[in-house]
Structure 1
């Protein structure tokens, strides 16, 4: 692929999988801001999130990863694809099945570049189940015959606005299964979308590359301080024993064990030197952008 072919692709629709979710939605919005034609793939084309994308100019189409006919229709005529997968809400086998089905449909449709969002360090035999499932999909992508790029996001800053975390924040506590001063690479989902959009504007530059991404290395204690400043609430940090996480999810316990024992590795400084075009969020700038309703619930 050449820069001339990049320009030819710019006028073709970018298909965005999971467009009504966090990562896909961020990618779709970033692409629309760049003036790219976006075809938003979702199982819920009548949802408020789908309506919001339509209002921004996206073409919203129904696509079910377990229904090949809908994938074929959704990908017809698309030039490039933002692909993603998740086991949450399904299971690991379903994630692999659905992810490979999406890639197979894209190859059959003649899509000319695929950006797949995986997980940081998923290619390092981590033993973390939902990292390993994504690496299975990465390997399938590499064998698909379609030019590809894999991005591996680190820990999502946006996890700290989920209801599970908000429950403890309302009590003035950020609770994680990590030592208070152990650095974690973090990334805002908006930055995942922005970086994916940048790649999809320059596919020839990124073909065949796998890039782990994060916006900042931050300790849990520092995360609590940033949320406290942004929310104007007193927030303290509390380490949760891994055994507590194990009771609810062996997968997540395995991930945090990897974080503690091996460490999630992303060269943040090199990444940001190489791609200053992305307005990488820090934990402070991300937290300041959020609407924090931390009033105790009745």
Structure 2
């Protein structure tokens, strides 16, 4: 039997939100999946699993108010990609304001690791502005700071290059980078929503592993059963925002205390990079 008071999930048809919506549904929690296109195939799949799928647009306050009405918690994520940082901030603020109007009890915001460290990376700084607004909003909040996504290797350009035996990144071969999978982001978000008193006012960077590009290439080779070589490229080809991010990764680093996370939040599971690869059908 589903827990009746729903949890609203933004980005429910994407990687992060989809992982959380699926996990919550599997646990018997009522889920209200927020999407701009309720007719999409991903939205239909969530509806088939038992989610309530509703239209919600960050640029339409009326749709946000309706989508959040009666929800006890909100999983909020934002992105500047396909738009810009200023628009990301505006949309994040709009969602938080709607949560306040709807008397949502708890907002879990998925930001990014190190966003609170003054990195100078545009899409880190925009998320930190949303974090600060959320902290002032007068409702219970939790901020998760996911590290670099393991899941980005499973699709798109990265997967295409891996099919050619190439792991291409604008990083030094020996630069260790914190990594996290969507399943662990979902696990941490679900834990925070299940225990709001424990997580109210908490900001925590999250990752399941810390690996260099060379180590990642070696893991891919072992799973795929063929050679995979790391290649370093120039960051400027990724655009200004991502170039700034990779420059930060390569000079300052992206570290997360994975041992402390395992000790403090063992319920999440915390997959290593090899475990994620072993459980993911990466046959590119």
- What displacement does 1:162 show? 2.9
Distance in 1, Cα, partners of 2:282 & 2:140: 41
SS of 1:264 mapped into structure 2: coil
Superposed counterparts of 1:137-148, under 5 Å: 137-148=130-141
| Moved >2 Å (runs of 4+) | 289-294
Q: For structure 1, which runs of at least 5 residues remain unmatched after alignment?
A: 1-9
Deviation of the 1:292 alpha carbon: 3.0
Structure 2 counterparts to residues 90-239 of structure 1, below 5 A: 90-239=83-232
Please give the alpha-carbon distance, in whole angstroms, between the structure 2 residues aligned to 1:95 and 1:156: 20
What is the deviation of 1:233?
Answer: 2.3
- How many residue pairs end up in the alignment? 282
Aligned CA distance change for structure 1 residues 248 and 184 (closer, same or farther; 3 Å): closer
TM-score, scaled to structure 1: 0.92
Task: Specify the alignment match of 1:267 in structure 2.
Answer: 257
* Superposed CA offset, 1:89-133 (max 9, x none): 221111111111011001100001000000001011000000000
Aligned residue for 1:32, secondary structure, equals helix
Whole-Å separation in 2 of the counterparts to 1:123 and 1:292: 33
Cα distance in structure 2, aligned partners of 1:111 and 1:86: 22
- Kindly report the root-mean-square deviation, in angstroms, between the aligned alpha carbons of the 2 structures: 1.2
Report the CA distance between 1:272 and its aligned residue.
0.8
The alpha carbon displacement at 1:289 in A equals 2.2
2:61 is the counterpart of 1:68: yes
1:284 counterpart (271, 274, 282): 274
CA–CA separation in structure 2 for the residues paired with 1:233 and 1:106: 49
Q: Aligned with 2:8: secondary structure?
A: strand
**Conservation of the 8 A alpha-carbon contact between 2:262 and 2:269:** no
Q: Give the TM-score normalised by structure 2.
A: 0.96
For residue 252 of structure 1, what is the aligned residue in structure 2? 242
Q: Distance in 2 between the 1:17 and 1:220 partners?
A: 31
Report what 1:35 is aligned to: 28
SS of match in other structure, 1:277: helix
Q: Distance in 1 between matches of 2:99 and 2:89?
A: 15
Could you tell me how far apart the structure 1 residues matched to 2:35 and 2:254 are? Answer: 31
1:121-163 CA-partner distances (Å, limit 9, x unpaired)? 1011000000000001001101111110000000000111231
Secondary structure of residue in 1 paired with 2:22: helix
Using the alignment, how far apart are the partners of 2:132 and 2:215 within structure 1? 36
- In structure 2, the gaps of 5 or more residues are none
- 1:172-213 per-residue CA deviation (whole Å, 9 max, x = no partner) reads 110101111211110001110111001100001000010000
